[in-house]
Structure formats: C-alpha cells, structure tokens
Structure 1
Amino acid sequence: MSQSRSTFTLGQLAKRVGLARSSILHYESIGLLAPCGRSPAGYRLYGQSELDRLLTIRRLRESGLALADIRSILSPAAESVLRAGAGPMALLEKRLLSLSQEVERIRKQQRDLARLLAAPEVRNARQHWDKESWVELLRRAGFNEEAMHLWHMEFEREDPDEHANFLKLLGLDPAEVASIRRLSRIETGQ
C-alpha cells in the first residue's frame, strides 16, 4: 500500500491522537487496533478508520473503562448488539454507576477531612479560623451549599458539643450558632 494523504505512520498517528507510540503498539498487541497496511519500507500505516477507532479507544480509556471492556465494546459482535441497544451498553452503564459510587466515596472523604480540620487537636495548631476563611476553604475543596449542610449534619449528629464549640471558635454569635445547629438537624432531600 503506498502512503497517501489518508494514511498515517505510527508516529504521525500517535502525534495526531496525543498518545505515546508505545500505547498504540500495546493496543495492537492485544488486538484492539491493527494497521491497514505497510509502507514499501515496512512501516505500519493507518487510515481514517484506524484513526477513528483509536480516538474511540482513547475516549473510552479516559472514561475509565478497562481494556477488556473496551475490547468487548469494540468487537464486531458488539456492533450489532449495540445497534440493538443492549450488550456492551451495560458496560458503559456499569462504569457510570461505579463513578457515582466513587464520587460519593470521595465526597465522604472530603467531609471527613474537613471534620479532622475542625478537630480541636488540629485546629489548635492553626492560628485562627473565622467563618469566611472556613467557608472559602470548603468552597475551594468543591463543597457547594448542600455539601456544607451535609457536613454540618454529620458533625452535629456525631458530636453536637464539639460542633457547637467549633462554630463558636469561628467567631459566630450565639444566635447564628443556634441557627446552624438547628438547620443541621434537618435532613436534606437526598
């Protein structure tokens, strides 16, 4: 096959897709990708369909799918099943749901870390927290209003006295402390 505008060498393909040559060779070695031909000098050549397939592989990898799952999704048998709306679609749905669980696990870790920062033995090492700096830290960590409310709810439920002490140390007046604690006892719509 002679090289034309519609074919790429391994290096050109790697550069075009933004992957290492070794990644593409690995995909070849496990049967996810194959060159469409060879140059007269024996170099691998790839066409538009290989480029499109590699972009799909990359997108699926970036979505966190395992190579075995990608192989299932891209297998010729899967294409007809995908058109029917079943089979490998379950792999994508499973990944989406597992990401939701992972996000919740990470959010819980965030709340736990924020709770540790509010613990007396840690906060005493810091010069001073005030409401604005505490809220700013939580916002930089990705907490929205609902996440902050959930954090307060957990803190109030697990250690109401320490929650009250922490709110007082933020410089809040007694009425605001009482209001936050009262709202912390109200469940969110989760």
Structure 2
Amino acid sequence: MFIRFSFLVIFLPLQLGSAKSNYDIVIKTLDCAAISKKYVNEVNCQLLRKRIAIISARFSMNQTIDHFDIHATFDLIKKDKSRMSVADLKMDGCRYLGSMYQNNIVGKLFKRLKSVSNLPSQCPVMKGKLYEIRNYTFISDEFPPGAPEAKWQVRIKLLKRSELVSNIFIEGSVVYNT
C-alpha cells in the first residue's frame, strides 16, 4: 500500500506538469470575404503574425440579423496533400453565440476571445455596428496537450436562411518546438 501511494505522490505531479504544450499554432493563411452585400457591409481579416499567430478581424452588417447558421469544416492535410475530414459541423449561430463563453473544453479559448472583441453574446447582430476582434493570439496551452504535428484547414460559412453571407478560411499547422 505504501509503495502504491509513494508511486502516486512522485509520478502524479510529473504527469500533471507535462500538460503544458510544447508546440506553436502557426497560421499560414487567413481569408474572409463578404459574399452577400445584402447582409454584410464590411468584413476584413488580418494575419498580424504567423508563428504563435495573432489575428484581427472586423465586420459590420447592412441588416440586423436575428438568426444565422454556421457551417464549419475542419480537415487535416496529409503529406500527399489529400484531405482527411475531422469535423463537419452545422449549428445555430445565435445559440452558439450564447453558449460559446460557457465553461466547457474550449471555454478558455472563447473567454479570451471575448476579452479582445466586442462580439455579441447573443442575437441580434446589429445593423451598422462595427464588430472587432483585436489582436487575438493563438496560445497553444489552450489547446489539448499532445496535439499531433499536422497541417490543417478550417472553412467556415456563415448563412442566413441557407443563403451564403460570408466565408472564412484558415490554413495552419501545429509545429513542435524542438
């Protein structure tokens, strides 16, 4: 019994201490575009730094939006440049705004996103208001430890009644610090 307890006392802190990530999130490409000028007045994204990526974005609407949908796909890019689909998500955008800051697995990430932006925490998304994300930094400690070194792409479509309003494209990689 004493040996088991000693083992836990010695090795448990080592396991917990190894949770710190030893990789960087690198963003190679960030692109966003307004597709429907009927809804979107302005959309602009900037990649300010690629390694330990920093991004800024801003948008304003031509109409007050009471409901929108999000279609997001996440793909890993294999060495032969083919894609492996990891996630294909369709969700109610207003419900997502209301729940994305709750304490869940990615809650830390979104809590910090909220601290550097004036994004609404619920619908409506107001006409004429300039929404901004200012200098959001991708910090690897907010992502799962031991993420595989890989290239990936995220494609996000924002939809209003199945009509494409805006596209967001992010291409990046996980790069280990060796």
- TM-score, scaled relative to structure 1: 0.24
- The structure with the largest strand share of the pair is 2
TM-score between both structures, scaled by the size of structure 2: 0.25
Larger Rg: 1
